[in-house]
Structure 1
């Protein structure tokens, strides 16, 4: 079942996001203890203007468990999308550092920031189910183009996105990793 993420999901959502953040080798993960950063993120997730605000997430539920989640936002929001987390870090006197410093999207796109499947639900069609639900969600936000960045070393993800109709339109470097910037036009 696909549904909007809810406030009660925040801890599980944070754990799923953490899988992706570790894979991306973000420098901030080496600067703060994991539990401290997760606590800060969970507080920021209450804010709908945050990259991972729970209201920006769609979840797949299987067997009463979160099987996967995707988060995204309108491209023009990228310059301010992490402000809720930064504000919390500043209020608690943490050394402020952006999670992401490289451009990931642009105005005119709805950017699929994160798509992750829980380890025990992998290879069961969860990502496909989430991707299939995205166009309706994005249309309601007034956008017609969904974009994402696919790690160039992740051939299986690339094949899934192409199967769903995404096409490579460029390349980006994000935290020293090469990504294919892909778009899907909603019909």
Structure 2
């Protein structure tokens, strides 16, 4: 089966958001300012269709298979993250009436894979690897650089995949008080 990777459209929100929520788990509460699953979903739909935050469709790529969203990649630079997260902090602070801070997830100068997730229906077809390779190609096309991601310590299968693809654990990282591995791959231009 053929997998098409493309930029996301606003209309992808209803299929992409449940996958993003599954991938980021408890972080979804921090990113939306909500605690109930339905409210988190509704808020993510709104954030996805906006243009000013990390979860915008503008920073999202879709792996499409048989006309369906089979996987999602959320991807941006560290420099973009500063602006995107400042916008999200302002939005959430206004919404909650109190200051909200978003934990940084990437180091300066990196290209950051915020989220990569495959729909359970389509797992085992190499879609996750294709999405990661797509991100790497985007970095190559832009002159090369460091490609990074964070992974929870207990996600052994994901860590093995990232290692196989050339990512190395650079340092420990903390997001909402939880420990992660910060993994980096140096990508050279063609």
Same fold (TM over 0.5): yes
Structure 1 equivalent of residue 59 of structure 2: 56
Name 2:154's counterpart in structure 1. 153
Kindly provide the CA deviation profile for residues 69-116 of structure 1, in whole angstroms up to 9, marking residues without a partner as x. Answer: 11021112333323444555566x445675x73321121001111111
User: Counterparts of 1:108 and 1:4 in 2: how far apart (Å)?
Assistant: 23
Q: Distance in 1 between matches of 2:61 and 2:31?
A: 26
Structure 1 residue 28 displacement after superposition: 7.1
| Aligned partners of 1:41 and 1:85 also within 8 Å | no
Q: Any residues of structure 2 matched to 1:48-127 within 5 Å, and which?
A: 48-86=51-89, 88-89=91-92, 93-95=95-97, 98=100, 101-127=102-128
- Deviation (angstroms), 1:176: 2.9
Q: 1:41 aligns with which of 34, 38, 44?
A: 44
Whole-Å Cα distance in 2 between the matches of residues 97 and 123 of structure 1? 42
Q: Which runs of 5+ in 2 are unaligned?
A: none
CA shift, 1:25, in A, is 7.4
> Where in structure 1 are there 5+ consecutive unaligned residues?
none
Over 3 Å counting, the alpha-carbon distance change for 1:106 and 1:58 in structure 2 is: same
For 1:182 and 1:4, the matched residues in 2 are separated by 24
When residues 141 and 54 of structure 1 are mapped into structure 2, their CA distance, relative to the original with a 3 A threshold, is farther
Aligned length: 185
Q: Distance in 1 between matches of 2:32 and 2:51?
A: 23
Distance 1:180 1:70, change over 3 A: same
What is the SS of the residue equivalent to 1:104? coil
